[in-house]
Every structure is written in C-alpha cells, then in structure tokens.
Amino acid sequence: MIAKRSKRPDLAALQLVVLTPMALFLMASVNPNAMEVAGFVVVRADEVEQIYVATEHRGTGLAVRLLRAAADIVAEGGHRRAWLAVASGNARARRFYERAGWIDEGAFDYAAEGPDGPIAVDCHRYSHRVGD
C-alpha cells in the first residue's frame, strides 16, 4: 500500500521577522531545524507587498493562512483595509485572491522598485477589509 501525502501542511512555525520598522516578514516553515521555507509574506503598512509559497506546498492551504496572517498584521497596524498589487497577466493569482474574498479595484501602474528607480508595472489593485 502506498501512503498518500497529506495536502495539509504540518507547519512547525509561522515566524515573524522585522525587516525594517516599516516592513514585516512572516515565514512559514515545515521543519524549523531545516532551513526549508514553505512560504512567506511581506507586509508594509497596509500593503501585502509579497506572498510566496514553494511549489511543493501549493494547494495545501498555506497561501490562505499566510494571507490571513498578513491581513491580521495590517489590522494590528491600525488600518481598516489591506491591499496588494497583482500583475494584470497573472490570472492564477488573480483568481486565488478573488476566491479568498479580495476585491479587484481595477488596473493601475504599480511603482515597483528597480535598480535605477521605480518601474511602472501593469497591475490590478486588490483590497480586503480587515479588523472585523
């Protein structure tokens, strides 16, 4: 008999790391003794700036947990709404955020940090009410 791999991650830790006074990094690990990062999220003020889940942990619910934790961090910062930018062509991510209850507020040019200054990226702004 072949054992089935559980789709639910057995997370050992969600660890909050302060990057700067304005940015927080929340890391999810499966084994805290190994340096494997299952995923992470970066929050700056009311913006969920980055969210990442390693390929082998996609479809496990980890992204939802990280997104909820990010919304909690935004709320703890005194904000009523969290927002994030999604590249207009990233249909998979846009569907994920919509299923998670985030609202597409429309297209805008996101000013991403580049080596020589801001770079305009065609994105959609998604928002979510927090702190309720």
Q: What is the pLDDT of residues 87-96, one digit of tens each?
A: 999 999 999 9
Give CA–CA dist 57/7, Å, rounded. Answer: 8
Give residue-wise pLDDT tens across range 15-58.
Answer: 555 555 555 656 666 666 666 778 888 889 999 999 988 888 88
- Model pLDDT for residues 86-123, shown as the tens digit of each residue: 999 999 999 999 999 999 999 999 999 899 999 999 99
d(CA 69, CA 79): 14
Domain-wise residue ranges, the chain: 13-129
The CATH number of 13-129 is which of 3.40.640.10, 3.60.15.10, 3.40.630.30, 3.30.565.10? 3.40.630.30
Q: Given this model, what pLDDT does residue 18 score?
A: 52
